[in-house]
A = this chain, B = another copy of it.
Amino acid sequence: MTARPANTHQARLLKLLRDGGPNSRAQLGDRMDLSRSKLAVEVDRLLETGLVAADGLAASRGGRRSHNIRLNPDLRFLGVDIGATSVDVAVTTPELDILGHLNQPMDVREGPVAVFEQVLDMAGKLKAAGLAGGFDGAGIGVPGPVRFPDGVPVAPPIMPGWDGFPVREALSQELGCPVMVDNDVNLMAMGEQHAGVARTTADFLCVKIGTGIGCGIVAGGQVHRGTTGSAGDIGHIQAVPDGRPCACGNRGCLEAHFSGAALARDAMQAAQQGLSVELAGRFETNGTLTAADVAAAAAAGDATALELIREGGTHVGQIIAGLVSFLNPGLVVIGGGVTGLGHNLLAAIRTQVYRQSLPLATRNLPIVLGELGPSAGVIGAARLISDHLFSPA
């Protein structure tokens, strides 16, 4: 598929069909505020391009029955979510429903060539399973800042070898379809916006706590990426004056005090200091500890694990409190690997935000866990490329 909508009416029609599914011409006309004849012109043009297809007769609203239309059911999008230590690849329908989803361990530090080999292999497996003949477009998320217009990572701290690599161009050639690239946290926000907990919210923050920590910002329904693509990079906001040294060279950064990596480090320290029998036992068995071990220890009632989670949540909450006062969002979504820490983490974050933010800004502010888990990123990636393809060229 190389066709693109010819004007903003067609673009809006395509997005309505993507977000709302098959619909009758009559209802689409109502929602677009277009006359029946003007709508017919645009729909007919879209039918000619092959972007949409007829889908039988709609239920009667009295009078002549309207024809249903839908996005061409053969369209396939590829969603790729590259993390620090694993990669998700999924194929979706034109409505962004997942048909197949693979997750594999991976080390982003091996560089783009090795990582893309693995991604292409995974995409090939999804094709071989009969889920897609080819891909009409692909969205790619990477765990660092991206110069959005040309899809190039810029100075990504945890991605050596990726700085300036032409991800968009390289993958577009390999896959033979249009590609868009974005920061992984922005894609998580777009996923939760499309199919998750943020469906009805135009202004929200999506805080992803994984190996590192970042924040997707959605304002007026649009992702805010900032002047150089680094918006939402909250891991290096100062959480503790003169606090712990951070890899970035400063002290007291949020990420140095709480993230998946910081939590694992603190848990291992506690185990070695004999502060927790539960953590020490797991450390002895596995030779290392992760955030998942802390979650399991907390679930077993371990006081040290619970305290680590509470402390971490307080640090994140303190930063989020400032961002809430600053941006006055309608919703805060917490996602990422560390959400395995669940409601203990959420409780600590909420306590801090509700205590510290302006009352006016928290009057109607839900703070919730994301709904989609590891699907949020790949759905967001599919949404990214569909937003591009469903806009006038």
Contact = CB atoms under 8 A, between A and B. Distances in A.
Interface of A: 145, 154-155, 203, 215, 217, 219-220, 222, 224-234, 236-238, 240-241, 248, 250, 318-319, 321-323, 325-330, 355-361, 363-365
Contact of A231 (B154, B326, B364): B326
A154 B328 contact: no
14 contacts: A155-B360, A203-B227, A217-B326, A219-B224, A225-B328, A227-B330, A227-B364, A230-B328, A233-B326, A233-B360, A237-B326, A241-B241, A319-B322, A323-B326
A154 B357 CA distance: 16
Contacts of A222: 220
A164 to B, nearest CB: 13
Given A224-B219, A228-B361, A233 B329 contact: no
Nearest to A204: B227
B238 A226 contact: no
Contacts of A365: 227
A238 B226 CA distance: 24
B356 A226 contact: no
Given A234-B326, A237-B322, A323-B326, 8 more contacts: A217-B326, A220-B222, A228-B360, A229-B360, A230-B328, A233-B326, A234-B325, A250-B355
A322 B233 contact: no
B318 A238 contact: yes
A228 B359 CA distance: 11
Given A222-B220, A318-B238, A154 B360 contact: yes
Contact of A322 (B226, B322, B361): B322
Contacts of A240: 241
Nearest to A355: B250
Contacts of A230: 325, 328, 358, 360-361
B155 A359 contact: yes
B356 A250 contact: yes
B145 A360 contact: yes
A224 B363 CA distance: 18
A275 B365 CA distance: 46
Contacts of A330: 227
Contact of A228 (B226, B237, B326, B363): B363
Contacts of A232: 326, 328
A248 B325 CA distance: 13
Given A215-B326, A236-B325, A236-B358, A203 B226 contact: yes
